[in-house]
Amino acid sequence: MRLDKLLSDRGYGTRKEIKKLLSKQGAVVNGAIVKDPGYQVQESDAVTFQGEEVSCEQFQYYLFHKPAGCVCANEDHVHQTIFAYVPNPKNTLFSVGRLDLDTEGLLLVTNDGKLAHALLSPRRHVDKVYFAKLDLPITDDDIKLFSEGVDIGDEKLCMPADLARANEAGDEIRITIKEGRFHQVKRMFEAVGKEVLYLKRESMGPFTLDDSLPKGVYRTLTEEELSFLETYTNHTKD
């Protein structure tokens, strides 16, 4: 990969900005100062820029249909992990956020930390849509309360959430939240006296779970999704 592209991908600026910075200060590659933006960097190279170590590993992006019964971790001594399904030979991949052991649905798996930050930062207000089955039907009062912010016992109320019926009875719902607090959806319904019997994440930001993607199966992101990632995160520091 070109040195200017590597540094741009890692969030140090646009390619144009990187070229100017390299001409002035250069980067350190394997102990030598390099100012050529077209210098070809290898994965094994040690790169330092502006006093920070820069990973040369190629980014990987997968959309995974998580089944129930596995955890979002690299290792677990009790339960199977998502990496029983998604190959992780270098042990550098991680999930963007977590789904509970019994929760199914869309999970992004990557080694791109800036993407994870962009999608998980509360300041980004990234929509996460869940389908749930409840032990009791929701009420109009529940919908109103969720739209105002539910108290789940944290220091702050949850951000307003969109709650809607997914069937006539009202015991199947869709909820859109903009945060990712610990057991958030389950705790929100506990706050209104209801229990979540089944939970599935259907989408996260621009990513939607494919109807054709079976549980336990992953796919690489499409060119359209990758293009969106570049414009969405721009790999900027915020």
The structure's pTM equals 0.80
- Dihedral sign (CA 127, 116, 103, 227): positive
* Catalytic pick among 100, 127, 162, 171: 100
pLDDT at 232: 63
pLDDT at 133: 98
Angle, vertex CA 204, rays to CA 95 and CA 62, nearest 5: 40
pLDDT at 116: 83
Answer yes or no: 36 catalytic.
Answer: no
Lookup: tokens for 234: 């721009």
pLDDT at 12: 84
Q: What is the average pLDDT score of the chain?
A: 91
pLDDT > 90? residue 95: yes
Q: Domains along the chain?
A: 3-54 (3.10.290.10), 61-121+207-233 (3.30.70.580), 127-204 (3.30.70.1560)
What tens digit of pLDDT does each residue of 116-131 get?
Answer: 877 887 777 889 999 9
For residues 185 and 177, the answer to whether their CB atoms sit within 8 Å is: yes
Rounded to the nearest 10°, the torsion over CA 200, 205, 211, 213 is: -90
